[in-house]
A = this chain, B = another copy of it.
Amino acid sequence: MTANKPKVVILGAGYAGMMTTKRLTQKFGTEEVEITLVNKHNYHYQTTWLHEVAAGTIEPNRSRIMISDVIDTKRVNLVHDTVVEIKKDEQRVVLENDELEYDYLVIALGFEKATFGIPGMEENAFSIESFDKSRLICEHIEYQFSRYKNEEGNDHLLTIVVGGAGFTGIEFVGELAERVPELCKKYDIDKRNVRIINIEAAPSILPGFDEELADYARKSLEFRDVEFKLGTMIKECKADRVIVGDDEEEIKTGTIVWTGGVQANSIVGNSGFELTKGRVTVDSDLRAPGHENIFILGDCSWVMDEENGRPYPPTAQLAMQEADTCANNIAALLYGGQLEDFVFDHKGTVASLGGKHAMGTVFDDKKLYGVTAKAMKNVIDDRYLFLLGGPRLVLRKGKFRPF
């Protein structure tokens, strides 16, 4: 490679970062640009499958992919390092063990837990935030079950509190409902001693989602013994209990998982980008306001939906579509031409509720329930694998194997 080639640096190998890298390698020849992908781990993980890792309903390694298995390392410099700071005025990125210069920067560093200042939440609650942290939740829950028969007066070890009834919270309790009977069988525990409690400040689960579908989800989960405390705030979180609601009810528990809020990776705010509700509101071409050569994608940014003046809900689907626009716009910057505005093509949303249970919408808001929805969920999961690594990756890691 020559020193004169423009340098594109992508930070983070999540959905947005992986797909942008992939698109850039498809769009440019070897001699046109120097592409560098920086990631903390040498693997990519499927964030939308982490609730299954956390519940223990999937073999953890199925949710991760070696980056070098799907990104052409002859075309892309893979840097296995942790981002410390983005020095945007100097066009440099500081890593733990190195520094990088860039001409074009793609920030796709993902989310982190937002606890809204709830006392004790940061210290005492787990979050479904990374591969390692999700696996920790799985091991923690199993450890509580294994402790149960060895200690006196410890029924609370079998109580699992999940804060937040958004997508992740609901999908997670769905997987837990499947996992708990297995754990009970393994540890000779009466299932009636186990409690899965979902606590949500809003008056219903899946706020903003179709009411009929949300209602279906709630009933499906209640039928499998998930308890809901809706319209209930978590006031405080201690090592072995949460304090909830206006009457300050104490719920003793062995495991607290917070899914109630996320925000952009704190590196973004710490590097001087202005945040609105925890994320950067990007321009319609996905660039950071005032920065011609910096794109911010995925869970680090808000992209406004011009139709209703509200940001698109951040999902994997959104992140992947942003990657296409980002790659096109980098090409436009390099070779001249009009930058395109991002428009989201909503293909539907399906929530898995554990086992064979699921619900959601596809295409023109057609509603799906049960096994049909579940099959569609698997198709959606596989579509990403197909885009990323072709049929070979679907075969290796896919959930739905039609052959």
- A contacts, CB < 8 Å to B: 60, 132-133, 135-136, 138-140, 142-143, 145-147, 149-150, 186-187
Contacts and interface: CB of A to CB of B under 8 A. Distances in A.
Contacts of A132: 146, 149-150
Contacts of A145: 139
Q: Is the interface of A mostly helix, strand, loop or mixed?
A: helix
11 contacts: A132-B146, A132-B150, A135-B146, A136-B146, A139-B139, A139-B142, A139-B143, A139-B145, A139-B146, A140-B143, A142-B142
Contacts of A133: 150
A282 B60 CA distance: 54
The residue among A60, A142, A146, A149 with the most chain B CB atoms within 10 A of its own CB is A146
Given A132-B149, A133-B150, A139-B147, 11 more contacts: A60-B186, A132-B150, A135-B146, A136-B146, A136-B147, A136-B150, A138-B146, A139-B142, A139-B143, A139-B146, A140-B146
Contacts of A139: 139, 142-143, 145-147
Copies in the complex: 2
Contacts of A146: 132, 135-136, 138-140
A142 B140 CA distance: 9
Contacts of A60: 186
Contacts of A149: 132
For the complex of A and B, 8 pairs with smallest distance between CB atoms: A139-B146, A143-B143, A132-B149, A136-B146, A139-B143, A136-B150, A132-B150, A135-B146
Contacts of A150: 132-133, 136
The residue among A60, A133, A143 with the most chain B CB atoms within 10 A of its own CB is A143
A187 B139 CA distance: 11
A187 B53 CA distance: 13
Contacts of A140: 143, 146
A283 to B, nearest CB: 36
A140 B147 CA distance: 9
Contacts of A186: 60
Contacts of A138: 146
A133 B146 CA distance: 8
The residue among A132, A133, A138 with the most chain B CB atoms within 10 A of its own CB is A132
A117 B147 CA distance: 24
A147 B140 CA distance: 9
A60 B186 CA distance: 9
Contacts of A147: 136, 139
Nearest to A129: B150
Nearest to A149: B132
Nearest to A140: B143
A108 to B, nearest CB: 22
A145 to B, nearest CB: 8
